[in-house]
Chains A and B, each alone.
Chain A
Amino acid sequence: MPKLTIDGKEIEVPGGLTVLQACELAGVEIPRFCYHERLSVAGNCRMCLVEMGQAPKPIASCAMPAGDGMVIRTDTPVVKKARQGVMEFLLINHPLDCPICDQGGECDLQDQAMAFGVDHSRYQENKRAVPEKYMGPLIKTIMTRCIHCTRCIRFATEIAGVEEMGALNRGGHVEITTLEKAIDSELSGNLIDVCPVGALTSRPYAFTARSWELRKTNSVDALDAVGSNIRVDARGREVMRVLPRLHEDVNEEWISDKTRYACDGLARQRLDRPYLRKDGRLRPVSWDEAFRAIAARLDGLDGGKIAALAGDLCDAESMLALKDLMAALGSPHLDCRQDGAKIGAKIGGAGPRAGYLFNTTIAGIERADAALLVGTNPRHEATLVNARLRKRFLMGGFRVGLIGAPCDLSYPVDTLGAGPETLSELAAGTGAFAEVLTAAERPMIVLGMAALARPDGAAVLHLARALAEKFGMIGEDWNGFNLLHGAAARVGGLDLGFLPGDGGRDRDGILDGVHGGDIEVVYLLGADEIDMARLGPNAQEGAFVIYQGHHGDAGAHRADVILPGAAYTEKNGTYVNTEGRVQLGRLAVSPPGEARADWTILRALSEVVGQRLPYDDLGALRQRLVAVNPVFAAVDRVEAAPWGEFGEQGKLDGAPFGVAVENYYMTDPISRASETMASCAEVFGSGRAGEATGTDG
């Protein structure tokens, strides 16, 4: 614990810190541009210079290790002059076009020029201009604004793992450049956040709003099962942008491109009023008429002929309301696994929680020393989990094996095989990777949905469980068994038991039941990823389909009644991420038109069908949620889940594991409605080309 004197104040700091970090602990602000907590130290901007003891020159505090007995001064004329000098240098070639710069109002250069610069420039020569670079549909470049801090280069190289940015030329001619193609990373949007100036800004957001006009709401993302912490910035009723919020255990300070950029999909293809299919066509109706049509169809119908499926974006509250309504109607047929993943027991709920969680936790990945990925591409299914795996890889001593479709994960992977056969061999202890797992102290396995959403999924799960035990993945303070979910709603649905009840049917049972005439009414709560053809062409030759959701996607297309619900930014709702972390999403804007928060729709409908649900406000519903499963009371706390029996011994199929996410940019109704995601899909789908066109849009 070195002891330093900073501006006359003595302070003891933990070992391994830099002088800059020590100054922060002492409550002394040090200006900086190139330094970033999560990137390697560059020391090039020279803004953080301070005086150190008898050193003849000021030192870069970001790069100097804090040592015992150091005397640091940050308030001397030398330091002030050095900062002013650097600030002046940074601004001489900067265009000072703040009035037309999207960074304006949230710009480090602006803020620090105010705090540490002088109020005029002595520069009378011509300024340099730098040509723009093409970085794809997400990032807009104004390279003349660049101050060459190289944060973007370091982010791309270190965090994202794509060596596609670098510096060209020398001296005053230095330019930060790309390969003149879109940055091939699902984390590219974070480049905008790490850029301390307006050189890299959001392309879709360009010229739409000023930061001070926006209403900021802290929430969580629902477009994958990571549960990234986000801030939703809205103006009026429109979500203008989504930014990351710090959560060390989940997303650190990054978010994926889908999380950030799919938000324009919130304003398109929206269901903003109820619809009822009359004479084969969906017609707008009042809430009352829609409810009465449902009540009429359910009237006298045996509960056993009704079924419900919950989709991937559902909040726990609405799933519980629907579950309670189904129970009241006498239906045991419900399922939250619309991809058909064989998770949980056949009868009697979800089974032990450790059987469906990412038990290691995302932050726990950093403690692992070997990983086996099975039927998963974490880069596409949970980008921030993959970022954490890469972070662990960079720490050294971490081997990763993959069984499944080969993919580029931004770190080296031993591809071991394609399907369950390889998994059995490994579980039997054969192959080189078995030695890696044996030698590892804290090995982990990650099962993706591609390994479980198949007929032999329960057998794969069982085998994986056995493998985990064989290689010592389950211990006192270590659980290396992990399911990687792709759906934000999934763990919540499993936790509250949105699963077939006694004698109930699962997804395939329900869809087969429609075909056989055993199921007559299907309630789709935002379920868009099932094969709609299996519901029959219409209510007469198939099921009567009630679709409750927010987008005019596959489910709405097939529906007989549409009940317009709220997207994740438009309601207060609970989500449980893949680790089992309960988090609260918050209402940032109101739902459009006549759309309503989903649990209130179910509450209203219950009354019309004569099965009034016993909660009148969100608080009461949340109490019911905790009563169903106490985990919902532990917001943002992850407790180790007890181990147990799960999966089923069975015959394994020879077929290789498939791919859970075919198109990263279009996985759900919101991203499919997003123009930005569509342009990404185009650029990255067509062989990752995206050559510069010469026209800046």
Chain B
Amino acid sequence: MFDKVLLKNAEIPNAHGIGAYEAAGGYRALATVLHEYSPDELIQLVKDSNLRGRGGAGFPTGVKWGFVPKDPALEKYLCCNADESEPGTFKDRVIMEKDPHQMIEGMVIGAYAIGAQKAYIYIRGEYVLSIERTEAALKEAYRKGYLGERILGTDFNLEMFVHCGAGAYICGEETALLESVEGRRAQPKLKPPFPVVEGLYGCPTVINNVETLACLPHIVQRGAEWFRGIGPERSPGPKLYCLSGHVRKPGLYELPMGISLRELVEDHGGGPRSGGRIKAVIPGGVSAPMIPESGLDVAMDFDSLAAIDTMLGSAGVIVLDETACVVRVAKRITEFFNHESCGKCTPCREGLDWAVKILRRLEDGRGKHEDLDQLERLCGSIFGNSFCALGDGAAWALSAALKHFRDEFVRHIEDGRCPFH
């Protein structure tokens, strides 16, 4: 049985309060860091742990920190990406609602590592309770001297702010998030320059996911070796899996990185709903291409999933059983991306709109065989050509549905109706 790390406090009543957090050993890692580590030593520790970003891309956190210019004259910022909007994902929300100090402690540690004196938590606007709990926790942390000036009697100062999103998925894209913090229309910006060199207000900025930051106090307290020992060496650590869809026991599971998808769905999730059989699983939020049932024996880590042309993403695992119409699922997902496309670049703005129009016809049974080739071409014209990953993800997800379940699309065309509804 795996001992929970990130969710160890989640079941304690009122764990979101600072009292409970401190009682469970909270903020001791921060004291250790501030008194015993230089920023460079801390960065090395995180590099040694092989911690990779939990927001989806899986970039090594310590390496990202190492890119921050060391020039002390430059203001630096840390941003916590808590704009958790990927459909099927609800892990950051649980951390913020149940154990916000874990994130805050991680942020203070991260800010110390990169030399930031200001930090922002960008929280999805719909997450009302997360916002309330995080703001309350910030007040507590200030009061206790974990934030503000001369933290724990050291020379380190840090101010932390909550910035609420207003309901745009694109704000999860890190440069769009920065635009939004600066008060502008949320659209991705050109890279290079990368935010780590020129980010918020033109200053070096590190953007880390909530879960990534929450791992930090544990790495400090238990060591890089301990962390690296959980799951695959190249992509280790405890991981939060969001299990939803047609399973008996949906919910948030903390398990080691690299657990088999089948074990997650069938053992922990209790398998498909009564009598059903699994048709496909989306392993990492809706921008991750779906895997047919035959592919479930894959390890849930960044590299193993990439090897089979999908991704761990946000680890939002969505299970579809045999009653699910893949055409409808593909349409719904594409509608989501079309709705959330910021409209900046041509392929995403025009291509997704076109794809949705075709998919709606297909689902209604008004499709033609040429439509399927057209959809494939469309995905080809979007993928790789769009400005940010939103268009890529949408095209990737749609082409996987077409690839694995083309027969279902064909049935819609030939029957002139949806065979499922």
Contact = CB atoms under 8 A, between A and B. Distances in A.
* A complexed with B: yes
B347 interface: yes
Contacts of B346: 44-47, 86, 89-90, 147-148
A107 interface: no
Interface stretch (A3-11, A165-173, A655-663): A165-173
A641 interface: no
A284 interface: no
B345 A44 contact: yes
Interface in A57-109: 57-58, 60, 63, 65, 81-82, 85-86, 88-90, 92-93
Interface in B255-281: none
B99 to A, nearest CB: 34
B343 A174 contact: yes
Given A122-B374, A166-B185, A171-B340, A46 B345 contact: yes
Contacts of B380: 81, 85
B100 interface: no
A43 B348 CA distance: 13
A171 B348 CA distance: 8
A46 B384 CA distance: 10
A173 B387 contact: no
Given A46-B347, A65-B192, A123-B354, A171 B341 contact: yes
B48 interface: no
B344 A44 contact: yes
A41 interface: yes
Binding site of A, secondary structure by majority: helix, strand, loop or mixed?
A: loop
A263 B88 CA distance: 62
Given A122-B374, A125-B358, A171-B352, A46 B340 contact: no
A510 interface: no
A126 B356 CA distance: 12
A82 B385 contact: yes
Given A170-B343, A171-B338, A172-B349, A49 B385 contact: yes
Interface residues of A, number: 38
Contacts of A174: 343, 349
Contacts of B385: 46, 49, 57-58, 82, 85-86
A80 to B, nearest CB: 12
A467 to B, nearest CB: 36
Interface string B363-398: 000000000001001001110111100000000000
Given A46-B386, A147-B346, A170 B341 contact: yes
A689 B250 CA distance: 58
B351 interface: yes
Binding site of B, secondary structure by majority: helix, strand, loop or mixed?
A: helix
A86 B351 CA distance: 9
Nearest to A84: B381
Contact of A167 (B185, B341, B374): B185
B351 A173 contact: no
**Most chain-A Cβ atoms within 10 A of its Cβ — which of B346, B374, B380, B387?**
B346
A172 B384 contact: no
B353 A172 contact: yes
Contacts of A82: 381, 384-385
B249 interface: no
Interface in B212-248: none
Contacts of B339: 170-171
Contacts of A166: 185
A42 B381 CA distance: 20
A147 B344 CA distance: 10
A175 B190 CA distance: 21
B168 interface: yes
Contacts of A93: 350, 353
Contacts of B192: 65
A148 B343 contact: yes
Contacts of A92: 350, 354
Nearest to B341: A171
B175 to A, nearest CB: 12
A148 B387 CA distance: 14
B357 interface: yes
Contacts of B350: 89-90, 92-93, 172
A31 to B, nearest CB: 12
Contacts of B413: none
B193 to A, nearest CB: 10
B386 A172 contact: no
Interface in B328-347: 338-347
Contact of A86 (B168, B338, B347): B347
B384 A173 contact: no
Contacts of B381: 81-82, 85-86, 88-89
B343 to A, nearest CB: 3
A533 B220 CA distance: 90
A47 B347 CA distance: 10
**Most chain-A Cβ atoms within 10 A of its Cβ — which of B190, B351, B352?**
B190
Interface string B189-212: 010100000000000000000000
B205 to A, nearest CB: 19
Interface in A101-146: 122-123, 125-126, 128
Nearest to A40: B190
Contacts of B353: 93, 128, 171-172
A63 B190 CA distance: 7
**Most chain-A Cβ atoms within 10 A of its Cβ — which of B339, B348, B349?**
B349
Contacts of A90: 346, 350
B347 to A, nearest CB: 6
A45 B350 CA distance: 11
Contacts of A47: 346
A171 B342 contact: yes
Contact of A89 (B190, B347, B384): B347
A394 to B, nearest CB: 14
B343 A173 contact: yes
B409 to A, nearest CB: 17
6 contacts: A44-B345, A86-B347, A148-B346, A167-B343, A170-B340, A170-B343
Given A85-B385, A171-B338, A171-B342, 5 more contacts: A42-B190, A85-B381, A148-B349, A170-B341, A172-B353
Considering the complex of A and B, which 8 residue pairs feature the smallest CB-CB distances, nearest first? Answer: A85-B381, A174-B343, A172-B353, A89-B350, A171-B341, A57-B384, A125-B357, A63-B190
